[in-house]
């Protein structure tokens, strides 16, 4: 299991290096595909997808594709329009399929679109910033770096449970270690890339805190829906949402922090 997980992790890092390094349409279509897969996992967990694909689900995927295309259309000024367009499409399915489609499915479809597609798109939006070729990596340093550091510190020093009901294995000591570790990684990354050390450290520290919320939120959804993993796409890790749960929350925060701190510096 360890070697399978390690090998899958290496493959994921290589794919990230290739697509994020390339940026532009390569990253756009990669994130679009990852978002659609993640939405499908979420829809299966929450009952939007049951035994077959429905109009509600298909139009949600189409809406995600339209939203991603809007990121490059006229410098992304049509993103809000694309989001409203998706929500209208979902409500149209609800109205014209009534009473076959339940209101809970409609709410889950809307939430899944925002939770997965919109929030994950901030990886691309961060990459499109003036210093995005470097700033975008802070997303993964925060999420995956915090996760790794928290696991190691928790295994060695963890005594006090952080969320005993939701995630019994996570400890307060591990959480502190994750945040400190992410800040150190951010500082080292800044030193290697010519960035401002304190700025990258602060961004990674805040991002690490948010990444824990993303991780716990995904765990809460899995517990309430009675599933262990969202999928089996990534050997040793589970599905897309199992691996990108913290990235989904961290990406928007890093985008806003990088934008604000860059403007102030």
pLDDT single digits (tens) 72-108 = 775 667 788 888 989 998 999 999 988 888 899 999 9
pLDDT single digits (tens) 185-242 = 999 999 998 888 888 999 999 999 999 999 899 889 888 888 888 877 776 667 889 8
Among left, alpha and beta (phi > 0; psi -120 to 50; other), residue 180 is alpha
**Share of residues in the chain with pLDDT > 90 (%):** 38
Q: Which tokens go with 123?
A: 């990886």
Average pLDDT over residues 176-185: 91
Query: Any bridge partners for residue 171, and if so which?
Result: 161
What is the 8-class DSSP label of residue 63? H
Asked if residue 169 has pLDDT above 70, the reply is yes
Q: Answer with the residue of higher pLDDT: 1 or 5.
A: 5
pLDDT at residue 236, as a whole number: 65
* Residue-by-residue DSSP string for 72-121: TGGGGTTHHHHHHHHHHHHHHHHHHHTTSS-HHHHHHHHHHIIIIIIHHT
């Amino acid at each position: 299991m360890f070697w399978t997980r390690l090998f899958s992790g290496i493959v994921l890092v290589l794919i990230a290096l290739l697509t994020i390094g390339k940026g532009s349409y390569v990253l756009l279509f990669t994130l679009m595909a990852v978002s659609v897969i993640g939405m499908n996992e979420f829809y299966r967990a929450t009952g939007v997808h049951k035994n077959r694909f429905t109009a509600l689900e298909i139009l949600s995927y189409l809406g995600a594709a339209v939203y991603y295309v809007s990121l490059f259309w006229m410098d992304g000024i049509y993103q809000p329009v694309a989001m409203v367009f998706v929500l209208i499409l979902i409500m149209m399915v609800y109205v014209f399929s009534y009473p076959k489609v339940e209101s809970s499915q409609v709410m889950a479809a809307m939430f899944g679109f925002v939770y997965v597609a919109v929030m994950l798109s901030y990886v691309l939006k961060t990459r499109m910033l003036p210093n995005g070729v470097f700033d975008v990596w802070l997303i993964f340093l925060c999420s995956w770096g915090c996760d790794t550091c928290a696991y190691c510190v928790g295994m060695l020093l963890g005594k006090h449970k952080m969320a005993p009901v939701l995630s019994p294995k996570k400890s307060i000591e591990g959480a502190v270690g994750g945040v400190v570790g992410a800040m150190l990684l951010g500082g080292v990354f800044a030193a290697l890339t010519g960035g401002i050390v304190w700025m990258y450290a602060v961004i990674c520290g805040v991002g690490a805190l948010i990444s824990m919320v993303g991780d716990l939120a995904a765990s809460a959804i899995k517990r309430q829906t009675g599933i262990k993993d969202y999928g089996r796409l990534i050997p040793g890790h589970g599905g897309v949402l199992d691996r990108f749960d913290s990235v989904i929350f961290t990406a928007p925060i890093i985008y806003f922090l990088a934008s604000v701190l860059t403007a102030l510096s």
